[in-house]
């Protein structure tokens, strides 16, 4: 396969993976989503050590510079009319976005199969592995931002529930 066709196919794969996977997860039945993306699951727990690490790498300083696609839940500032329902929905969205970005980082290694379309698959394997690794690493900061924000939102949600704010 010519290099330009392989490049085009790989680009379509990555764009489809990013938006297609997110689209599939966000269109699952609500009952399934509520079960899979429940912030009380162990997978979504964020410890104090993890939060210290995020602050050590300066995540609070650069997290707002990265793009986001969910305008209903802006990571830069909360709505003025906070409620328990809004905070619960925001926390739910952080869980779902974390899974989307982490899974894309892993599923991206399926692009290694494009080596099979090359004349010399073994010679092209390092290139495709490097592409998958770079794109995967580019998704990890987005997962980290979700975890960092969720920890802070969960504290606020706990406060709102305790004080009876609706």
Per-residue confidence (pLDDT) for residue 3, from 0 to 100: 73
Contact predicate 91/154, CB 8 Å: yes
Q: Which residues span the domain enclosing 157?
A: 3-163
Contact predicate 83/27, CB 8 Å: no
Residue tagged 């794969």 (tokens): 13
| C-alpha to C-alpha distance for 149 and 48, rounded to whole angstroms | 13
In the chain, alpha helices (H): 3-26, 30-36, 48-56, 59-62, 84-107, 121-163
Per-residue confidence (pLDDT) for residue 155, from 0 to 100: 93
Q: Phi, psi at residue 106, to the nearest 5°?
A: -80, -45
| C-alpha to C-alpha distance for 98 and 142, rounded to whole angstroms | 7
Q: How many domains does the chain have?
A: 1
User: Under 8 Å CB-to-CB from 153, ≥6 apart: which residues?
Assistant: 87, 90, 91, 94
Local confidence pLDDT in tens for the 166 residues of the chain: 777 788 888 889 888 988 999 999 999 999 999 999 999 999 999 999 999 999 999 999 999 888 887 766 765 667 777 889 989 999 999 999 999 999 999 988 888 888 888 888 888 888 889 988 998 999 999 999 999 999 999 999 999 998 876 6
**Using CB atoms within 10 A of its CB, is residue 29 exposed (0-12), middle (13-18) or buried (19+)?**
exposed
């Amino acid at each position: 396969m010519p290099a330009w066709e392989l490049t085009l196919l790989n680009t379509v794969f990555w764009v489809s993976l990013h938006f297609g996977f997110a689209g599939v997860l966000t269109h699952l039945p609500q009952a399934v989503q509520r079960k899979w993306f429940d912030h009380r699951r162990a997978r979504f727990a964020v410890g104090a050590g993890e939060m210290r690490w995020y602050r050590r790498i300066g995540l609070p300083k650069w997290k707002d510079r990265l793009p986001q696609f969910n305008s209903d839940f802006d990571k830069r500032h909360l709505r003025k009319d906070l409620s328990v329902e809004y905070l619960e929905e925001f926390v739910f969205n952080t869980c779902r976005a974390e899974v989307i970005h982490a899974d894309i980082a892993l599923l991206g290694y399926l692009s290694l199969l494009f080596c099979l379309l090359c004349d010399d698959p073994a010679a092209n394997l390092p290139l495709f592995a490097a592409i998958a690794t770079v794109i995967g690493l580019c998704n990890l900061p987005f997962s980290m931002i979700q975890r960092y924000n969720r920890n802070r939102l969960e504290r606020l949600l706990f406060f709102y529930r305790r004080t009876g704010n609706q």
